[in-house]
Amino acid sequence: RALKHMKKHWLSPFQTTLVSGLLACLSLTACGSTALSPAQMAPYSAQMQQMQAMRAPMLQAQSNPSQANAPIQVSFVKAYSRNTAENEAVTRKDPNSPGAMLVRLIDSARQTLDGSFYDIDSALIVEALIRAQKRGVRVRLVTDSDNITVKNSGPQGPPRPAIVALKKAGIPVIDDQRSGIMHNKFIVADGQSVWCGSTNLTDTSLYSHNNNALVLNSVQLAESYTNEFVRLFTHRIFGPNTPRTV
């Protein structure tokens, strides 16, 4: 019965065959039957290898510096270890991490960068944004009011160094000035590409947590995100808005 439900809602014919075999193995084991011989297990071993091959393209969906103009680039923080320090060490070396992908996009910008981020604190990203500003790119940012002061210092705490550095470089940073959370994580480059996903601009989010990021090379999508940015940055409208169409 469970297999019938799985076939209907989840599994391809190939996956159904594999699951059926595994369930049969479990049934034999539970009944105390003799374990299957290597010859009996061979068909299922081959199917397991086939499933791993099917997964390979998904695992290779990470962005690639040589595919910077692909319509969609995908990246994940490689936070697979139970140890946070190990996760950070691995991801900092990953040329296809969300942070590395974002830095490449920022460094490629020639005219504009419009970003809306809940939390901005990464020295790596702040430095990239300042570099862009210095080479003549117009950089504008929106963030949440809870994150313009030093972490855990409260709304009256000292200004956050990252925000101070951005403003000192001439980059305007607008905060939402309300109790509701401005939880966006996106940036539009030159009105053509969008970096977005679950990743905040903090070292913990960039290197230690299971986060994802996309680069969408689409003028149409970039326009939609830009409209949202203008609503926040220019008009200071942080409440409900009309639905967007793509």
Q: State the alpha helices, DSSP H only, in 93-201.
A: 98-108, 123-134, 161-168
C-alpha to C-alpha distance for 212 and 246, rounded to whole angstroms: 22
Q: What is the reported pLDDT for 56?
A: 44
Q: In what order do the strands lie in the sheet with 193-197?
A: 72-76, 212-217, 193-197, 185-189, 112-117, 138-143, 173-175
Report, as an integer, the average pLDDT of 94-122: 97
Residue 15 in this model has a pLDDT that exceeds 80: no
How is residue 67 annotated by DSSP?
G
Distance CA 142, CA 32 (A): 63
- 3-state SS, 78-103, equals CCCCCCHHHHHHHHHCCCCCHHHHHH
Please state the pTM of the whole predicted model.
0.72
φ, ψ at 187 (rounded to 5°): -145, 140
Please, which pLDDT band fits residue 153 given cuts at 50, 70 and 90? Answer: confident
Catalytic positions: 183, 185, 190
Integer Cα distance of 73 and 195 in angstroms: 9
Q: 18 or 86, which is more confident?
A: 86
Mapped onto helix, strand or coil, the DSSP state of residue 143 is strand
- Can you tell me the mean pLDDT for 196-207? 96
Averaged pLDDT, 177-186 = 93
pLDDT tens-digit readout, 16-56: 555 555 455 544 444 444 555 666 666 656 665 665 554 44
For the stretch 55-76, pLDDT in tens is 444 444 455 555 667 899 999 9
Those residues whose C-beta lies under 8 Å from the C-beta of residue 88, and which sit 6 or more positions away, are 203, 207, 208
pLDDT tens for each residue of 163-177: 999 999 999 999 999
Q: What pLDDT does residue 31 have?
A: 47
pLDDT exceeds cutoff 60 at 189: yes
